[in-house]
Structures are given as structure tokens and as C-alpha cells.
Amino acid sequence: MKITTLNLEGFTDWEARKPNIIAYLKDAAPDVILFQEAVFIPEISIYNQVQLLNETLAYPFEHSAITRLQTSVVYETFREGLACLSKLPVIKTDDIILKKASQDKHNRIIQCIDVAIDGKIVKLANVHFSLTDTIDFASAHLSETLSIFAARGEERIIAGDFNLNHLESTAELWQERYVASTRFSYTSFPSLNKSIDYVLVPKCYEFTSLAASADGLSDHRALTVDIKT
């Protein structure tokens, strides 16, 4: 099973980046694509970027969870969230609101997607945690996410923009149940020469490969992973 995750950076320089994103995704040919910073800004487009991409990519299953209403100095309304495209049948989706710290400017969610492959259900989670600066919002979001899935007894692949500079610093939260994409060497946020995008794979699956895209898709690089389910 091949999964790609990409933070889309909203509509910034969209017309220049859109063909690069399409070309990369056609070449990588993932089964499932998880997007962060999917936005709906009606002054720009009556569709979000994932819906526009899928006009060309033509994935049969599409789900957007654009749940966060934000203030904007440019547009009257600004809505942001998560979205996915899948070649595999999507059996169920579920959006979970994460706890919001009083100092956090953003409401964050988990987009859960259950897909069918080879006669079984594989559970995925698309995430975009809050930026960690002086307060570590991201680690709290990761901890809550893992606690929810543990309480449910779910073995769920977690991928997206974790906004954590050093995922290994949170290893006590996940290392017993998951293998992290940090086992591979890559940079996902090239302007600062660091990685903040990750994939956590339950140990019931086999994490076989990871490749980062070239630049030009967004301020992030896309990550494409192969997982033996």
C-alpha cells in the first residue's frame, strides 16, 4: 500500500504549484493521498485545492474535512482543514476534534479514513498538529491522538504535518506500538532544513520505504511511503 502526505500551503502561488503537484502525484501513483492545509476561500475558488487537483487526478474517492474558520486580513472568510483522495474504497470516515489549549490560535482535528484493500480494512489518520513555539501544542496533540486510538483498540497509520522538529523526543508515547518514518533520512521542510512531516506505522504492518519529493510542490515536500499491510 502506497501513501502520500503533503501540506498544500493553502492557495499560495497555486497556479505555479498546481502542475508540479499533479505531475508528482501521477508519477508516484499512491493508493491514498493525505493533504493538510486544504482551504476553502470562495473569493479565490468555489472548490478547495484537493477538489481542483482531483479534476485531473480522477481518484474515485474524495473526502474533505475543512472545519476551521479563521480570521483573515485579506479575505472575509478563511476555512482550513484536511482532505484525502483514495483509489481504494473508503469504507468510513470520522473527524475528531482535538483539545485546544487556551493559548493555541487553532482548532485541530484528526481525519480518520478506513479503506478496503485485499479483503481487509486498513485504518488511516490524517493529522496537522498546532505549531510548537514557546508552548508545545504538537506533543499534546500527538499524545491525545495516540490515547484515542489506544482506547479504541485501533491499529491506525498516522501521517501528516506533526509540526514537531524532533519526533524522537516523543518516542515514549509511541515506540511500543509504532515504527516511525524517522528510521529513514529525509528533509520535509527544506527552507529550514528540517523535518516536521512524519508517518507512524503500527508494528502489525511493515514499513518498507519512504521517498521525499523534490521542491516546488509547496513549502513542504511530499512524503510517499510503502507499507506492507
- CATH number for the domain spanning 71: value is 3.60.10.10
- Model pTM? 0.97
Position 51 pLDDT exceeds 80: yes
Question: Does the structure show a pLDDT above 90 at 190?
Answer: yes
- The total number of structural domains that make up the chain: 1
Residue of higher predicted confidence among 219 and 133: 219
Tell me the backbone φ, ψ of residue 83, rounded to 5 degrees. -155, 160
Residues 6+ apart with CB under 8 A from 70: 78, 79, 80, 106
Nearest CA-CA partner of 197 in 218, 216, 217, 222: 222
Q: Where are the alpha helices (DSSP H) in 131-210?
A: 137-152, 171-174
Q: Which of 87, 96, 89 is nearest to 125 (CA)?
A: 96
Percent of the chain with pLDDT over 90: 91
- Average per-residue pLDDT for the chain: 96
Would the pLDDT of 133 be above 80? Answer: no
Residue 88 has pLDDT above 90, yes or no: yes
Is residue 44 within 8 A of residue 83, CB to CB? The reply is no
Q: Once rounded to an integer, what is the mean pLDDT over residues 96-102? A: 95
pLDDT above 70 as % of the chain: 100
Q: C-alpha angle with apex 3: 18 to 211, nearest 5 degrees?
A: 80
Which residue segment(s) compose the domain that 212 sits in?
2-228
Query: Which band of pLDDT confidence, cut at 50, 70 and 90, is reported for residue 73?
Result: confident
> In angstroms, rounded to a whole number, what is the distance separating the alpha carbons of residues 218 and 32?
19
Q: Does position 166 have pLDDT exceeding 80, yes or no? A: yes
Q: In what order do the strands lie in the sheet with 78-86?
A: 61-70, 78-86, 32-40, 2-7, 223-228, 206-212
Beta bridge partners of 86: 32, 61
CB neighbours of residue 99 within 10 Å: 12
